[in-house]
Amino acid sequence: MTKPLMSKATAVWLVDNTTLSFKQIADFCGMHELEVQGIADGDVATGVKGFDPVANNQLDAGEIEKGQKNPLYKLKLKFNAASVGEEKRRGPRYTPLSKRQDRPAAILWLVKFHPELADAQIGKLVGTTKPTIASIRDRTHWNIANITPIDPVALGLCRQSELDAAVQKAAKKKAAEGGLMTDDERRKLVSTEQSLSMSTEPKLPSGLAGLDKFSDDREETKSPKDYSDADSFFNLPHGDDEDEDDDA
């Protein structure tokens, strides 16, 4: 369902002026129920002025009445003929001005820790252009000496789910091409949860895989020497032999 204009301000108005449930307001405004509860508690949208959806021709007053009488009723956005046929414009991800200076650090992090990602994937994740990615890959960027790699998720340029999806896509493409992967590359080509669950014990190379079993078999075939007798261990003569020498 299409969200109303200024959805958060609309949610503030509905919380302050109606007895609708948090779930009803959340479903209508395209928000999470806990976020609406935070608005009611004063922890979210502090200082946001309420936006009346009825006065702005987005919601009928009758819809609010139906919702107040029935907690299971879902509010319906008022039909707007002007929005018919309007589609969301496709294009590169929009990056706020305050975060655009962080994009080189995010690109360097992706190039360093996920070299399997294509330039198009990196550009889609952080909202940049291929020439910028190429300059950082080739280390010809004008500020490359001062760029520190930082996780784009930590910078807020993309979500962890988006990064995992891109890495998984790169993994499938590399597997389809028949490329061989090392253990480090294989860890990079899985999601965060899968990587944490992988074993960290080192594995023997394939050529040495059977040597440990071979050495164990050899030790089992050897007949152990009997050292239960102290004289035989130290190779000492018995007492009877000493008595014979004394008599002689």
Residue 139 dihedral angles phi and psi, to the nearest 5°: 60, 40
In this structure, the dihedral spanned by the alpha carbons of residues 98, 90, 32 and 38, taken in order and rounded to 10 degrees, is 30
Q: What is the 3-state secondary structure (H, E, C) of the chain?
A: CCCCCCHHHHHHHHHHHCCCCHHHHHHHHCCCHHHHHHHHHCCCCCCCCCCCCCCCCCCCHHHHHHHHHCCCCCCCCCCCHHHCCCCCCCCCCCCCHHHHHHHHHHHHHHHHHCCCCCHHHHHHHHCCCHHHHHHHHCCCCCCHHHCCCCCHHHHCCCCHHHHHHHHHHHHHHHHHHCCCCCHHHHHHCCCHHHHHHCCCCCCCCHHHCCHHHHHHHHHHHCCCCCCCCHHHHHCCCCHHHHHHHHHC
Residue with more model confidence, 133 or 101: 133
Q: What is the pLDDT of residue 60?
A: 87
On the question of pLDDT at 87 being above 70, the answer is no
Query: Which tens digits make up the pLDDT trace of 210-242?
Result: 545 545 555 554 455 555 555 555 555 555 554
On the question of pLDDT at 136 being above 90, the answer is yes
Q: What is the pLDDT of residue 175?
A: 82
Residue with more model confidence, 1 or 96: 96
d(CA 35, CA 69): 23
Q: Which tokens go with 180?
A: 């061989």
Q: What is the pLDDT of residue 31?
A: 87
CA angle 35, 40, 46 (to 5 degrees): 80
Across the chain, mean pLDDT equals 75
pTM of the model: 0.40
On the question of pLDDT at 135 being above 80, the answer is yes
**pLDDT over 90 percentage in the chain:** 24
Q: Cβ distance 167 to 114 under 8 Å?
A: yes
pLDDT band for 78, please (50, 70, 90 cuts). Answer: confident
d(CA 28, CA 205): 58
